Chains A and B, each alone.
Chain A
Amino acid sequence: MAVAAAALPRRRRITQSRWAPWLYLSPAIITLVVWSYWPLVDAVRLSFFQWNMLPTSPQTFVGWDNYVRIFALPKFWQALRNTGVYILGLLPLAVLIPLAIAIYTHDLPERSRNIYRAIIFVPMIIAPVVGAAVWRWLLDPGYGLVNQALKGLGLNPVKFLSDPNVAIWTVIMITGWKLMGFSTLILSAANANINPSLIEAARMDGASKWEVVRDIRLPLLSSTVLFLVVMTILLGAQWSFTYINVLTGGGPLGSTSNIYYLLWDFGFSTMSVGWSSASAVILFLGFGAVAFVLFRLIDRYSFHDN
């Protein structure tokens, strides 16, 4: 009797521990499979078909045609080039300037630093659509405050969003507006984390201010900087999506369109599921390859002090 009673709960615990984790995980796994993994597989399938998204019209198998056509499309290469411009343009705003500010303001008094911190974080919580609306108003060629100010200075008004040479930089600037404060905070936190005795020791040895920055702060900040660079490369073009969609619609003449916007455009303006899915697959593979290389680089080159 006693033996049986002792054995029973033990067996139950074993079977329970085999199934229990899966039971606890199931809602999350089901959601992610249905809305992330299965769609990924479906996108690959659809990329070999021609279909206009109407349930009544047939899906025709076209093999690699969609891919061949996309690579032949000037629009695709323009969007790819623009994606590169977005990334390069965002790097100074999302990494370099915040880095300089973080180092430069390191010695400001605690209280004023807290106030600045609270203010520069505001764009991060403002909805991208709201940000787009306000910037559209500020930059309006006729009545916007910025152009009014330019006129006041005797300069010609700038068509910030409708001049093909300027529009992409305007979108980059607005995306940078959203990110700058956040990067600054991340870098200030990392900068403040540096052990002060290291810097004190260097100063005792007669290192100049610039030498302290170059030989101690920058190397110790390198892993945070790398992290931000990687994030900007991987997500930079994506962050600008809302601004492109609300402010320029990819125009003028496709000058602000990037690869993410092109996907949207293929799928929902031209209603061509095959093209859109094929470029989604290209994007995903390219994106995955870049992410893989960058994370390997982080592992190899970041420098830790502890």
Chain B
Amino acid sequence: MTTEALRAPRIATRPLRRISEKSGLDTAAGHVLMVLLSIFCLFPVYWMLASSLRPANAMFETSLVPTSMSLDNYTQAIDAIPIARMLINTLVFSVLSTVFQLLTGIIAAFAFARWKFRFDKLVYTAIALTWLVPFQVVMIPNYLLIAQMGLLDSVAALILPNLAAALAILLLAQAMRGFPREVIEAARMDGARNWRILWEVLVPNLRGTIASLAILIFISSWNEYFWPLLLSRTAENSVIQIGIQMFMTAEGNQWGPLMAASTLASLPVLLIYIVLQRQVVQSFMKSGIR
């Protein structure tokens, strides 16, 4: 289920298409279908951008392209909540979660790939099963634990439960098992210790897997909403996703600043996507859905 699979049939289907004499009408209908789906998927994102650039007096215009543009919504949003601070918190949270999940994942996966030990299958299954524990089931005990530690309303508390994740461990363990044993044995013959084998032989060779995992963890951490929602008390110690919500209140919505804050929150992820489109799609598909 990787992009490899998407690209593979290019060579194979060419001659086939000539035999089957695929009608142009069918292809046109296929295009129509895909264009409709594309509009459905992309239009809300475009509308967010367009609305964020409209001046206040043109907010309710329905022209698809803004007739006049201004950055007023952005300055308003920045005045209303500490957006820069929240973006930095989000960045710190996402980067640290990514680094820690990769580190704990790499060494844990190495244990499974390198040794057979008592209960190894059991531990592996136990790790895999945490993937099936809905967050809502453990949220109250987790919240109480953070409260006991006196860490409510802090970025550190956001990171703690994200120091390790089943997904990283499982994907890396799979990748390491696929690594040729002879190379590891050869390194061992040369007298390399396990720690060095891991960091000097395995990790450099698994760059691709590690990079795509890093993208995946970073984007999911950046978009994380539920856990920060539980812990946040003040805007200064919270993440941007919570900041967006502050523009939607029961009394009414400040549409302009809301769209501006949403755009600012999405820009980093969209930029990553534009630059690394192929890798991003691939890493999400490799991981299944979550």
Interface positions of A (Cβ within 8 A of B):
17-18, 20-22, 24-25, 27-29, 31-32, 34-40, 42-43, 46, 53, 55, 101, 104-105, 107-108, 110, 112, 116-131, 133-138, 140, 143, 145, 148-149, 177, 179-182, 184-186, 188-190, 192-193, 196, 199-200, 203, 224, 227, 231, 234-235, 238, 241-242, 245-246, 260, 263-264, 267-268, 273, 276-277, 280-281, 283-284, 287-288, 291
Contacts and interface: CB of A to CB of B under 8 A. Distances in A.
B202 interface: no
30 contacts: A20-B111, A21-B111, A21-B120, A24-B107, A24-B108, A29-B108, A104-B30, A112-B34, A116-B37, A119-B38, A121-B280, A121-B281, A123-B44, A125-B280, A126-B266, A130-B266, A133-B248, A133-B258, A134-B262, A137-B47, A137-B253, A140-B255, A145-B62, A177-B41, A181-B37, A185-B6, A238-B134, A241-B226, A246-B248, A287-B132
Given A137-B258, A145-B62, A235-B290, A242 B138 contact: no
Interface stretch (B16-24, B80-88, B179-187): B16-24
Interface in B1-27: 1-3, 5-10, 12-13, 16-17, 19-20, 22, 26-27
Contact of A200 (B16, B111, B285): B16
B121 interface: no
Contacts of B20: 203
Contacts of A224: 1
5 nearest A-B pairs in the assembled complex, by CB-CB distance: A39-B141, A39-B138, A127-B223, A31-B164, A24-B111
A91 to B, nearest CB: 14
B40 A35 contact: no
Contact of A107 (B7, B22, B225): B22
A260 B133 contact: no
Contacts of B9: 192-193, 196
Interface string B151-183: 000000000110110100100000000000000
B42 A119 contact: yes
Interface string B105-127: 10110111011010010010011
A28 B127 contact: yes
A236 to B, nearest CB: 10
A235 B131 CA distance: 11
A138 B47 contact: yes
A108 B34 contact: yes
Nearest to B130: A36
Contact of B132 (A138, A260, A291): A291
B213 interface: no
Contacts of A287: 132, 134
A280 B194 CA distance: 42
Contacts, number: 284
Contacts of A28: 104-105, 107-108, 127, 164, 169
Contact of B141 (A46, A118, A122, A200): A46
B19 A203 contact: yes
B206 interface: no
A120 B164 contact: no
Given A126-B223, A129-B262, 16 more contacts: A25-B107, A27-B107, A36-B130, A36-B133, A46-B140, A107-B30, A116-B37, A120-B41, A130-B241, A131-B44, A149-B62, A189-B285, A227-B288, A242-B226, A273-B140, A280-B136
A280 B140 CA distance: 10
Given A128-B223, A192-B8, A284 B134 contact: yes
B48 A267 contact: no
Given A116-B38, A136-B248, A40 B138 contact: yes
A233 to B, nearest CB: 12
B140 A43 contact: yes
Contacts of A18: 117
Given A107-B17, A189-B285, A196-B16, A181 B41 contact: yes
B255 A129 contact: no
Contacts of B222: 127
Interface string B237-277: 00001001101100001010011001001100110010001
Contacts of B226: 241-242
B33 interface: yes
Contacts of B223: 125-129
B263 to A, nearest CB: 8
A122 B130 contact: no
B276 to A, nearest CB: 11
Interface in B25-60: 26-27, 29-31, 33-34, 37-38, 40-42, 44-45, 47-48, 51, 59-60
A101 B33 contact: yes
A145 B64 CA distance: 10
Interface string B130-152: 10111011111110110100000
Nearest to B243: A129
Given A35-B160, A280-B137, A137 B27 contact: no
B14 to A, nearest CB: 10
